[in-house]
Amino acid sequence: MAKRHGGSFKKTRDKSLVADTRVKRRQYRSAYFFYTQALEKLPNLHGVHSALAEVYRKTGHPDWAAQEDAKEAALPAPDCKAHPAECEFVAGHDAQLTKAAPASPEALYWQAKAANELALQSFFRLGQLPPSVEIHELKADVARGQGQHVEAAQEWRAALTLAPGNPKIEREIAISYFLAGDYKTALAEAQRLLERDPRSAEMNFVAGDSLLRLEDAEKAVPHLRAALAADPKMLAAGASLGLALARLGKAAEAVPLLEKALELDDDGSLHFQLVNAYRASGQAEKARTAMAQYQEIVKRNEEQKAEVAREAQIGPPK
């Protein structure tokens, strides 16, 4: 099998597994792209048509889903002599499959699928158990991994009812609301925790950055300074402090902080703020250089977005 497919199967396997992850995160257009890429290389790979059908159902295309289900049903049974790992997976021998040493890229692919099935089964069984702190923590971690931060906060709050006063859970609640963009709630949670531990770098950052996003740069500065004092390597706090100082007209003090945090800038916003800070502090040449870098980042991001939108457009079965 390895000789027949070689690197081609490995690439196809990776695309299928990436697509599985995208579905779990509800990134259906991206999942569609990777599934269709996998099918172009190996149209008879079992499970991919069914997975693509699920994407169609989730995005309101039941007729297309039916076509993919039919294609899956029409696939010939796997040749167990040539593809033993696939047969083990189809037979539901997930535990045995994950224990075997992978002999080829194909075997590794089916092992990854089996491990995922075992994880889903474990998670389902956990859901049948009585409520516990550990179960709510697990659900919160899963929700955060999928970008569902409001749901994560709800799970952390449920955990807190079973473990009142638990400092780790209280911190996670504040962080979840912050990640969800509910800055007023995040600020309230962080400020309450700072009454107990005023030097917490994490909570000072949550409080300071929330205040900055709520357009109160002056009140944000003390919290952000405290966060950096507690953790000088916290680049996010440095970036926020630089932005706050720039808004308060303290461009010269903001510049080194923004410069240091540029590695965090994936959308160009820090470069743009640095351009303004350079101009305000009389550094015209540096402002021009930073503006050119900002424009390059924006151009690259726009090109990537256009490419993703073009590639991930969900269309009918081929």
Which secondary structure element, helix H or strand E, spans residue 146, and what is its range? none
Residue 19: partners with Cβ closer than 8 Å, 6 or more residues away:
30, 31, 32, 33, 34, 35, 38, 51
Looking at residue 281, what DSSP letter applies?
T
Residue 28's pLDDT is 67
Q: Locate 308 and state its tokens.
A: 């993703």
Residue 312's pLDDT is 57
Identify how many contiguous H helices and E strands the chain contains and give both numbers: 18, 0
Alpha helices in 195-268 (DSSP H): 201-213, 217-230, 235-247, 251-260
Residue 300: count other Cβ atoms within 10 Å of its Cβ: 11
Looking at residue 262, what DSSP letter applies?
G
Residue 135's pLDDT is 87
Looking at residue 301, what DSSP letter applies?
H
- Contact call for residues 241 and 224 (beta carbons, < 8 A): yes
Q: Rounded distance, CA 230 to CA 200, Å?
A: 7
Q: Rounded distance, CA 82 to CA 225, Å?
A: 63
Residue 57's pLDDT is 87
- Contact call for residues 89 and 110 (beta carbons, < 8 A): yes
Across the chain, which distance is largest between two alpha carbons, in Å? Answer: 74
- Contact call for residues 227 and 234 (beta carbons, < 8 A): yes
Residue 126's pLDDT is 65
Which secondary structure element, helix H or strand E, spans residue 139, and what is its range? helix 133-145
DSSP string, 6-35: THHHHHHHHHHHHHHHHHHTT-HHHHHHHH
Residue 289's pLDDT is 96
pLDDT in tens, the chain (318 residues): 233 333 444 444 444 444 454 445 556 676 777 777 777 777 777 777 888 888 888 888 899 989 989 998 998 887 788 778 878 877 888 788 778 776 666 677 677 777 777 776 766 676 676 788 988 998 899 888 878 999 999 999 999 999 999 999 999 999 999 999 999 999 999 999 999 999 999 999 999 999 999 999 999 999 999 999 999 999 999 999 999 999 999 999 999 999 999 999 989 999 999 999 999 999 999 999 999 999 999 999 898 877 766 655 778 887
Residue 27's pLDDT is 63
